[in-house]
Structure 1
Amino acid sequence: MFTQRRGENVTSNHETTSRESATPGGASRGPGALRVGLVGVGQRAYIAHHVASSDENAVLVAAADTTPEGRGRIAPEFGPGVEVFDSHTALIEHAELDAVIVTTPDWTHAEIAIDFLRAGIAVYLEKPLAITVEDADEVLRTAHETGTKLYVGHNFRHAAVVRLMHDIIARGEIGEVKTVWVRHFVGNGGDYYFKDWHADRSKTNTLLLQKASHDIDVVHLLAGAYTTRVVGMGDLVVYGDVVDRDTHEGETVHDWFSYDSWPPLTQTRLNPVVDVEDVSMMMMTLSNGVLASYEQCHFTPDYWRNYTVIGTEGRLENVGDTAGGVVKVWNRRHEAEWQTAGDVEYPIEGVSTGHEDADVLTMREFLAFVGREEPVTLSPVAARAAVAAGSLAARSLRSGSQPFDVPALSPELLDHFARTTTPAPAAAL
């Protein structure tokens, strides 16, 4: 097993902090607290706040960002007690970490995760695991070879709507699942994904990873198996016609987001490179025979996702995906051909917008995994399955909708990650 490298007790030439365990703002944690670092201080870096709010004995002690703007956000966001570095390698060498949270742009995930895994530092890697199947597999191999803990932040598994749908299926209310359909209306797509690096396929590959990997993973969870064959269709049909472009140097989405940016063709300051699809569709065959589909559109006015799961004894469908929404179940026939009311309806709890509740649960699970060897509900194998399905769907839609089979993982990797994961889908890749 690879031994973690520990730097001598020296400080870098960046901002310094005491080696005493301290939460952001200076509140101390108990002896033996996990020392946690953060890489990438952009839009998703806020999840590092959940280190302090978790029930685990852990503390955020250091953060790194390659940009001066990112480094400048560390103290205001997390407090002056968090040490500042300008690279993830400096963080490895000097911060004496037990674990790290990686929230950098997608194309950097594999390289950064591999470096930390080789250093023996447990990794929380923001989804997607990587932007290609090959890189995803290399991350998994490195975790296996080093024995270092790897956790991928597919937080949507912990969202109230997903847990509710999963419980309905587990109780047998719709029988055995046979097909899953997902429609994803990305109402903020222009602001979220077409004004920075997300719009550049060399950095994202496809929004079927950055955006759809959540839902592909949930399809696998609800259906109880992973995708083995996929076909896609899609195109850039709206945002490619917008000619106003800008680099947004040093900015984050909060600096340019506006609900007044409507209709989509009136958007301004798009990324200089826009070559990812703004509408995508994919169909999946899962290893247990379940058939699934996913559709994504980035120029709709509304922002939510709609699941329909049909089994041998009924179907469920969510209307809304946060608090105030409902999951409806139809499980008997009616004389009327259609009815909007379900035979049973379950209110969705949790937050009213976003997925902060899911973020909290995800971070808590990671820290318990690192600190107390608690098993996790999401295997890196599942994260790889989402990458494989999404990236191959993108290859398909860019190849005249040619179907592609998902390459199998080695038995060694499947066995390694099965030891720390419960429960797992019945069928493995």
Structure 2
Amino acid sequence: MKKVRIGVIGAGLRGGLAQYWHKPDGESEIVALADISEARQQKFQEMIGSPLFLTKDYRDLLNRDDIDAIAVLSPDYLHEEHVIAALQAGKHVYSEKPLAITVEGCDRIIEAWQASGKHLMVGFNMRYMSMYQTMKGLIDSGAIGELKAVWVRHFVGFGGYFYYHDWHGQSKNTTSLLLQKGSHDLDVIHWISGRYTTKVSAFGSLDYYGGNMPNNLTCPECSLKKTCPEYVPHTFTECAFREEIDVEDNNMLIMELEGGVKASYLQCHFTPDYSRNYTFIGTEGRIENDDVNGKVYLKTRKTNTWKEFSDVTYDMKSEKGSHGGADPKIAQDFVELVLYDKEPLTTPFAGRMSVAVGCAATESIRSGGKVVEVSQTSSIVHN
């Protein structure tokens, strides 16, 4: 195989990723799209430029011999169905995170992957961001000694627009936003620390969004749109205060990782700003990021070595492409995985474990904060 011919399922929020795969004169090309919306089909076709096979039924892609791989960019609750069907049809698969919305769903996906002989890659694009690669490199080099604690705060300044004006606001579609939004952060904690979570205790609630507004109310039709702070005129327009919303809009997790490392994760969807703040603390110092200003800070403590004499600030260089240059990198890694068997930075098991933590934390939240063991497995290859 000299070129990966890719069919896409879902042209919604992550549909833009496909532009990095469409290189007709290169090693990958988008050749087909399945999406239930003709309007999204047309917009996607315009973005790609080249003529595509378009359909509303994703199964039409699986039967085509001119498609080598499937990119599953559909809503979370459809990932399990779409990924398994594509693997069973003999296609390589790229799946957006979360891998599924239940641990059992993830395990079924991984079993189908291992039986298929095909490649499966999970879309953890934060592993491809220079900021977090820098932090991992520092920890792996021993710059802060032995890692002991991790603190993460996620200010989701666009939480209402992203998650409460459409399907994300219902737990039947997401389980919770600890899977949809939090899966990135939980994965980064696992990846940078090199350890998976073993147990978790969590608290969370729905304190701002949701309410008693009709489920069929949209922003353009609302009589309060001139004064409502959550009014949006386009794209996602379902009322953010509708009755059916049941997903927590702020969460606080305490986790114990393998080897006794402690971690905390805080997420809020009604903050005025957007930022991810990571702090890793070791026996010889700590590192902390500032993603707003593109910096990573290394702070040292007394060690009776040369290390204690200086702190270091790392300035991130700007990179081209969405998500800080991560999207073109992860797209290329999928191509090289399929063509050359080159191992990417992400793994299916890592995708499973971020979901397992999110599900355990959600169980803890909805049962009063009890300690919940994170589902482990010995029957799946941990790579």
Q: TM-score w.r.t. structure 2 length?
A: 0.89
Distance between the aligned counterparts of 1:261 and 1:50, measured in 2? Answer: 40
- Report the equivalent of 1:414: 381
Query: Residue 272 of structure 2: which of 301, 305, 318 is its match?
Result: 301
Q: Would the alpha carbon gap of residues 123 and 296 (structure 1) be closer, same or farther in structure 2, given more than 3 Å must change?
A: same
DSSP-derived class of the 1:94 partner: coil
- Report the equivalent of 2:360: 392
Q: Deviations over 1:6-65 (max 9, x none)?
A: xxxxxxxxxxxxxxxxxxxxxxxxx84221110101111010111135996111111110
Query: Residue 313 of structure 2: which of 309, 322, 345 is its match?
Result: 345
- Report the equivalent of 1:136: 106
| Percent identity over paired residues | 39
- Report the equivalent of 1:188: 158
Distance between the aligned counterparts of 1:168 and 1:210, measured in 2? Answer: 28
Q: Is residue 297 of structure 2 the alignment partner of residue 328 of structure 1?
A: yes
Distance between the aligned counterparts of 1:235 and 1:89, measured in 2? Answer: 38
Q: Would the alpha carbon gap of residues 94 and 203 (structure 1) be closer, same or farther in structure 2, given more than 3 Å must change?
A: same
* Contact in 1 for aligned 2:196/2:257 (Cα 8 Å): yes
* Contact in 2 for aligned 1:56/1:367 (Cα 8 Å): no
Distance between the aligned counterparts of 1:32 and 1:247, measured in 2? Answer: 50
- Report the equivalent of 2:44: 74
Q: How far apart are 1:245 and its partner, in Å?
A: 5.7
Q: Would the alpha carbon gap of residues 39 and 356 (structure 1) be closer, same or farther in structure 2, given more than 3 Å must change?
A: farther
Distance between the aligned counterparts of 1:211 and 1:133, measured in 2? Answer: 16
- Report the equivalent of 2:307: none
**1:81 is matched by which residue type in structure 2?**
P
* Contact in 2 for aligned 1:216/1:389 (Cα 8 Å): yes
CA RMSD of aligned residues (A): 2.7
Distance between the aligned counterparts of 1:186 and 1:96, measured in 2? Answer: 40
**1:286 is matched by which residue type in structure 2?**
L
**1:172 is matched by which residue type in structure 2?**
G
Distance between the aligned counterparts of 1:71 and 1:404, measured in 2? Answer: 43
Q: Deviations over 1:317-342 (max 9, x none)?
A: 112x26x32111110259xxxxxxx8
Q: How far apart are 1:289 and its partner, in Å?
A: 1.5
Q: Is residue 90 of structure 2 the alignment partner of residue 120 of structure 1?
A: yes
Distance between the aligned counterparts of 1:328 and 1:282, measured in 2? Answer: 24
Distance between the aligned counterparts of 1:372 and 1:85, measured in 2? Answer: 30
Q: Deviations over 1:91-127 (max 9, x none)?
A: 1113631111111000000010000000110000000
Q: How far apart are 1:160 and its partner, in Å?
A: 1.5
Q: Is residue 120 of structure 2 the alignment partner of residue 150 of structure 1?
A: yes
Q: Deviations over 1:284-337 (max 9, x none)?
A: 111121111100000101101100100010011112x26x32111110259xxx
- Report the equivalent of 1:401: 369
Q: Deviations over 1:378-416 (max 9, x none)?
A: 1111111100001110111001111111222234x216x
Q: Would the alpha carbon gap of residues 200 and 222 (structure 1) be closer, same or farther in structure 2, given more than 3 Å must change?
A: same
* Contact in 2 for aligned 1:151/1:366 (Cα 8 Å): yes
Q: How far apart are 1:161 and its partner, in Å?
A: 1.2
* Contact in 1 for aligned 2:153/2:266 (Cα 8 Å): yes
Q: How far apart are 1:268 and its partner, in Å?
A: 7.9
Distance between the aligned counterparts of 2:359 and 2:227, measured in 1? Answer: 30
Q: Deviations over 1:260-292 (max 9, x none)?
A: 998569998327421100001111111121111
DSSP-derived class of the 1:239 partner: coil
Query: Residue 281 of structure 2: which of 282, 297, 310 is its match?
Result: 310
* Contact in 1 for aligned 2:146/2:284 (Cα 8 Å): yes
Gaps of 5+ in 1: 1-30, 252-259, 335-341, 419-429
* Contact in 2 for aligned 1:194/1:270 (Cα 8 Å): yes
Q: Would the alpha carbon gap of residues 119 and 356 (structure 1) be closer, same or farther in structure 2, given more than 3 Å must change?
A: farther
Q: Would the alpha carbon gap of residues 329 and 77 (structure 1) be closer, same or farther in structure 2, given more than 3 Å must change?
A: same
- Trace 1:18-417 onto structure 2 (pairs within 5 A): 32-52=2-22, 57-94=27-64, 96-241=66-211, 243=213, 246=216, 263=229, 269-270=239-240, 272=242, 273-319=244-290, 321=291, 324-332=293-301, 343-351=311-319, 355-411=323-379, 413-414=380-381
* Contact in 2 for aligned 1:178/1:310 (Cα 8 Å): yes
Greater mean deviation of Cα atoms: 134-143 or 267-276: 267-276
Q: TM-score w.r.t. structure 1 length?
A: 0.80
DSSP-derived class of the 1:288 partner: helix
**2:294 is matched by which residue type in structure 1?**
G
* Contact in 2 for aligned 1:332/1:343 (Cα 8 Å): no
Distance between the aligned counterparts of 1:201 and 1:231, measured in 2? Answer: 19
Count of equivalent residues: 367
DSSP-derived class of the 2:101 partner: coil
* Contact in 1 for aligned 2:284/2:302 (Cα 8 Å): no
